[in-house]
Amino acid sequence: MKGPEAADWGPFDAALLRAVDEFHGDTSIVKSTWRLWPAGHRKATHGFSHDGSAR
């Protein structure tokens, strides 16, 4: 299996994989990963604010 660091992932896909890994492991997404997402994908959804912290 390839992780988010694999060279063939684009920036958004790598950030998405990293976020899923973090959320699955800790039920949270760190701010540095959240900031990798394009602004249009950082809207407050699913219990998270725009900066990646839980509401």
pTM, two decimal places: 0.60
Give the separation between CA 9 and CA 54, rounded to whole angstroms. Answer: 27
- For the segment 1-55, what is each residue's pLDDT rounded down to a tens digit? 688 889 898 888 888 899 899 988 888 888 888 887 766 565 545 555 445 555 4
- Given this model, what pLDDT does residue 1 score? 61
